[in-house]
Structure formats: structure tokens, C-alpha cells
């Protein structure tokens, strides 16, 4: 059974990975993905409502998202919300659906996106290392106060380092996956 301090550190590191993974999922990569719309809220009868609660969002073969609202009266509100969101895509409203066409990105755009992904991944690695630093400090304090033996401290320190290495490796894999996704567009 894992020591509570080790378990807590691992949980905190997993949360950092989840947060970074979620951030990467929502990031624009030139490939149509409904996740890009998740943060956009539409004023629907006075309530800020996510697009996916007002419409069906699908991906067409021609590099576009198709947004088909269940209530056509909300079409212009969805269009306005997308236009003002700053995602860099112009909504095309044909009276039935809204199309968001994703242009083929340039090599320069792809390189910018990969650079941004690197920054996001680095933030995640820093968060993981900060968890390690905090836990190692707690272990030293516990050993100093006589709550654990020096041998236990060394063993737990080694365990924390192994978990840290594993989590940093997971971050590297997230980077490789996202980089591949960007460069294949």
C-alpha cells in the first residue's frame, strides 16, 4: 500500500496531466474538432448556454464543422457567439446550419502551434516538479520531526522520483501525440 503522501502526490500530478490534456484537446490545430466550441457560450433566453446544448455539431469531409441547431431561431445567436469568440474562424450561416471551414494551415502556423504546445507541456512539467518539491520538503520535515525514519524517507523519496519521472514521460507523450496531430493536417 502506498504511503498517503505518495498517493496524494500522484493524485496531484495526475490532475496536472488532466488539466494539460484538456487544454491541448481544446487547442486549435487546423483540424476540425467540436472541442474548439466548448468554451463558447450563446445567449439563449438570457442564459449563457454551451453550443453543444443547443445544436448538433458534426465534422464534414471538406474540413468543416457543421452546427445544426434544434431551434432555428438561435442560429444568429450562435453565429454571433462564434464570431466574437476569437477562435479565428468565420461562421457561414445558410439559414439552416452554420459552417465553420478550417483552412489548410501553413507550415508557419503549424510551427507556431507546436511551439504553443511545447509551452503548455512545459507548464505541466513544472507543475509536476512543484508537487515533487513540496512532497520532498514534507518528507524531510517528517524525518526531522521523527515521524518517519531516515530509511523510510529515502525509500519514499525514491518512490516520488519514480512517479515524477513517469508523469513527465506522460507529458512528453502528450506532446508527441499533439505535435503529430498538428503536423499531419
- pLDDT over 80 at 143, yes or no: yes
Using 50, 70 and 90 to split pLDDT, how confident is the model at 103? confident
CATH class given for the domain over 34-101: alpha beta
pTM of the shown model: 0.77
Nearest CA to 91 out of 123, 126, 51 is that of 51
Q: Which residues of 135-165 are buried (b: 16+ CB within 10 A; e: fewer)?
A: bbebbeebbeeeebeeeebeebbebbeebbe
Mean per-residue pLDDT, 38-58: 88
* Domain boundaries of the chain, sorted by first residue: 4-26+106-183, 34-101
Candidate CATH numbers 1.20.1440.230, 1.20.1250.20, 3.30.9.10, 1.10.132.20; the one for domain 4-26+106-183: 1.10.132.20
Amino acid at each position: 500500500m502506498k504511503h498517503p503522501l505518495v498517493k496524494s502526490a500522484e493524485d496531484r500530478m495526475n490532475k496536472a496531466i488532466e488539466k494539460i490534456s484538456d487544454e491541448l484537446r481544446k487547442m486549435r490545430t487546423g483540424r476540425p474538432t467540436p472541442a474548439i466550441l466548448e468554451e463558447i457560450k450563446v445567449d439563449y433566453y438570457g442564459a449563457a448556454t454551451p453550443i453543444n446544448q443547443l445544436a448538433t455539431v458534426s465534422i464534414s469531409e471538406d474540413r468543416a464543422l457543421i452546427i445544426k441547431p434544434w431551434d432555428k431561431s438561435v442560429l444568429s445567436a450562435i453565429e454571433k457567439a462564434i464570431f466574437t469568440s476569437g477562435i479565428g474562424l468565420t461562421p457561414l450561416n445558410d439559414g439552416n446550419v452554420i459552417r465553420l471551414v478550417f483552412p489548410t494551415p501553413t507550415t508557419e502556423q503549424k510551427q507556431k502551434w507546436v511551439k504553443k504546445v511545447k509551452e503548455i507541456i512545459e507548464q505541466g512539467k513544472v507543475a509536476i516538479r512543484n508537487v515533487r518539491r513540496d512532497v520532498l520538503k514534507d518528507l524531510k520535515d517528517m524525518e526531522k520531526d521523527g515521524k518517519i525514519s531516515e530509511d523510510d524517507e529515502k525509500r519514499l523519496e525514491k518512490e516520488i522520483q519514480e512517479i515524477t519521472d513517469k508523469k513527465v514521460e506522460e507529458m512528453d507523450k502528450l506532446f508527441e501525440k499533439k505535435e503529430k496531430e498538428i503536423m499531419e493536417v
